[in-house]
Chain A
Amino acid sequence: MNVNADVVGSRFAPNLRDSTSTARKSRDKIFLLVLWFATLCAVLTLFFLILTTLLKGAGRLNLSLVTNFPSPFPEDAGIQSAIFGSLWVVITSGFASLFIGLGSAIYLEEFANSTSRITRLITLNIQTLAGVPSIVFGILGLAFVARGWLGWGFSVGTASAVLTMMVLPVVVVSSREALKAVPPSLREGSYALGATKWQTIRKQVIPAAVPGIATGSILGVSRALGESAPLILLGALAYVSSNPSGFGSDYTVLPLIIMKFTQDAQDEFRAVGAAAIIVLLVLLVSLNLLAIVIRDRSRKSW
């Protein structure tokens, strides 16, 4: 009996006879050190990047940076039209992707027959689309939105539509996960009280899924904010001296203007570029903070 227990212990359970030995504890420490090192690598890289950018751009980080328009001269170059261009594109594409994305997620999760071939095909497609490189969406947008039968030209509307397409799969996938995570007891309770399916979804399921939906869509929108590849194809400009006034306007966006500034021959321009990077980072961080706030405010525990 004793022998038997020993065999089981050595094979399948932690070796209890070793429990006081220093070998196990030191292995534990080494593992912790490896984890620490991995975290440190990521954090230090980020810290170094932000620090060098801050040092480079600090001199130009003032009000004139956000009140001036792009200029061929570093002294009075600003990024106002890029900030508003980015806000326009990101806010409109954020709303559009949330609306369409949440709608399709609700359909797929609550209404569609999840075993049918068509549903499975759609799911597979959406998951694939989430991994498609953004430049592919740019080419698609150039052919069908900017030119082709929509023919919206190189405008805010085109950029917004293409970024919507790009963000949409992420929103659908994350919204579905959020809806899936709502406990069935909540739905059953609602049905038991005589609520219809739509009432249940609207009053119980969606409110309960808000944290997940908000996090997913704001992360998607953050991705759109930092995106430049498809917008180069879609006619985002370098020199625009006015803010967009509608969907038909010419526009530029922050990542693109940063690219133009940092590629310039003059060191002074690279400083403006670094300052613009800081503005973009601040925008991104505030978007992520918004996601956290929404998540925390609407979190429920069952």
Chain B
Amino acid sequence: MTFKVSKSKVARFLVASVAVSAVGLSSANVASAAKLGDKCKLKDAYKIQKVGTKYIRCQIVPGTSLHSKDKKKAAKFAWRATTARQYVLANANNETIRIDGSSTVYPMSAVAAKYFETASKSVKKSKGAKVTVGFSGTGGGFEKFCRGETDISNASKAISSSQKAACEKAGIAYTEILIANDGLAVVTNPSNDWATCLTMAELKKIWNLGSTVKKWSDVRAGFPDTPIKLFGAGTDSGTFESFTELVNGKGKVVRKDGVQTSEDDNVTVAGVNGDKGAMGYFGLSYAVENSKKVKLVQIDKGAGCVTPSNATVQGGTYPLSRPLFTYVKNASLSTKPAVGAYISFWVDNLKQISADAIFVPLTNAQQKILAKNVASLAKVPRVKGIKK
């Protein structure tokens, strides 16, 4: 008898939770009539509405930023005029776009995904396109991509010859898209007042295979003999591969002793912050976000010391720069109109997406090439009555 009571309770609990999961908690879309210039919220960012013959979109107000520490410049959103093309782009069918790959590119990909989904949901009463983004790393992403399991793969490093071969073997044709620039920042403890600028040769001396550097005085005469403590990126990451290639001349080659590796950049930040002689590296945006906890080191490749910044990375004067890519499966472009629409949407709004995800944007020249390449590649879906 007692058993029966508890059984029915369990059943009731489970039925209740399944019922809740079926109903969901999502609030209904607010479809209020907005006017040009009206305020809107981050939640609705990139929602598109048709007002008469014009199109308006909820966008960030220029001069404000999602990442501003200054409260006056904190992000504000308002309905601003947009083009019919954006409306057409957003009209993606009820399809799922699967994205995976580099965790470095992930934030940008997720920003683009969020904006695209919001735009897509606002156009029709249909569910709109659905985008899913994973973060299994450049290598892990290609592993799935070349089996045809994803539509788009993000990469913090151009596809390698072995990954190419895997894709070819599986008959996966793809298109490479340069999506952003990235700088690798070398960071030290804020109280490190000697290593403000390091040469590439010195970096190689510290990080290369067989390095005997144990103290800062081993790096350059005149540095104190504080023990040097190294923090590196996880060996499966594109960041690790790029850094070793740029510094040591060969990818994945690094000293075997004395480097603490972690997939989590926060561990590196905490480690470098906690030890006076520590040194680490990661993506520039990560370093900018944590500029109070770690100090950025200038890098000299023979042409003087260069501070890592958007401008020096874009201009190519900062030696530890790298391009970031996204790879699109060609077959998905033709079978899923949403994939092409998503890529076009991303490229059209690249500047804002880069800024919101704190990425180093493409230069104007790079962007022009990109726009041209993408225009030939993605067929923008059409909506009745609207011409591109």
A235-277: which have CB < 8 Å to B?
235-243, 250, 260, 262-266, 270
Q: How far is the CB of A3 from chain B (nearest CB, A)?
A: 60
In Å, the complex CA distance between A35 and B340 comes to: 65
**B136 an interface residue at 8 Å Cβ cutoff?**
yes
* A76 and B21 contact, CB distance less than 8 A: no
The interface residues of chain B lying within 8 Å CB-to-CB of A210 are: 3, 6
The interface residues of chain B lying within 8 Å CB-to-CB of A73 are: 42, 66, 111, 114, 356
* B25 and A265 contact, CB distance less than 8 A: no
Q: Which of A116-124, A187-195, A293-301 contacts B (4 or more CB under 8 A)?
A: A293-301
**B13 an interface residue at 8 Å Cβ cutoff?**
yes
**B130 an interface residue at 8 Å Cβ cutoff?**
yes
**B151 an interface residue at 8 Å Cβ cutoff?**
no
| Chain A residue at minimum C-beta to C-beta distance from B3 | A207
* A250 and B132 contact, CB distance less than 8 A: yes
In Å, the complex CA distance between A236 and B67 comes to: 28
| Chain B residue at minimum C-beta to C-beta distance from A94 | B14
Q: Which of A39-47, A80-88, A130-138, A173-181 contacts B (4 or more CB under 8 A)?
A: A80-88
Given known A263-B264, A263-B265, contact A67–B130 (CB-CB < 8 A): no
**B368 an interface residue at 8 Å Cβ cutoff?**
no
**A75 an interface residue at 8 Å Cβ cutoff?**
yes
**B18 an interface residue at 8 Å Cβ cutoff?**
yes
Given known A154-B149, A263-B266, contact A298–B42 (CB-CB < 8 A): no
**B357 an interface residue at 8 Å Cβ cutoff?**
yes
The interface residues of chain B lying within 8 Å CB-to-CB of A61 are: none
Q: Is the interface of B mostly helix, strand, loop or mixed?
A: helix
**B134 an interface residue at 8 Å Cβ cutoff?**
yes
**A66 an interface residue at 8 Å Cβ cutoff?**
yes
Q: How large is the interface on B (under 10, 10 to 19, 20 to 34, 35 or more residues)?
A: 35 or more
In Å, the complex CA distance between A67 and B13 comes to: 21
Interface size of A in residues (CB-CB distance below 8 Å) = 46
In Å, the complex CA distance between A293 and B10 comes to: 10
**B106 an interface residue at 8 Å Cβ cutoff?**
yes
The interface residues of chain B lying within 8 Å CB-to-CB of A266 are: 67, 289
In Å, the complex CA distance between A13 and B79 comes to: 88
**B286 an interface residue at 8 Å Cβ cutoff?**
yes
In Å, the complex CA distance between A240 and B100 comes to: 12
* B289 and A75 contact, CB distance less than 8 A: no
In Å, the complex CA distance between A262 and B25 comes to: 24
Listed residue (B133, B134, B285) with the most chain A CB atoms within 10 angstroms of its CB: B134
**A265 in complex: contacting residue of B26, B66, B285, CB < 8 Å:** B285
Q: How far is the CB of A288 from chain B (nearest CB, A)?
A: 14
Q: Which 6 A-B pairs have the closest CB atoms?
A: A239-B133, A72-B110, A265-B289, A297-B6, A207-B3, A265-B286
Binding site for A on B (CB under 8 A): 2-3, 5-6, 9-10, 13-14, 17-18, 21, 24-27, 42-43, 66-67, 96, 98, 100, 106-107, 109-111, 113-114, 117, 130-136, 144, 147, 149, 263-266, 285-286, 289-290, 356-357
14 pairs of residues in contact across A and B, judged by CB atoms under 8 Å: A71-B110, A72-B113, A73-B111, A76-B42, A232-B136, A237-B134, A238-B110, A238-B133, A239-B131, A250-B96, A263-B263, A263-B264, A264-B266, A265-B286
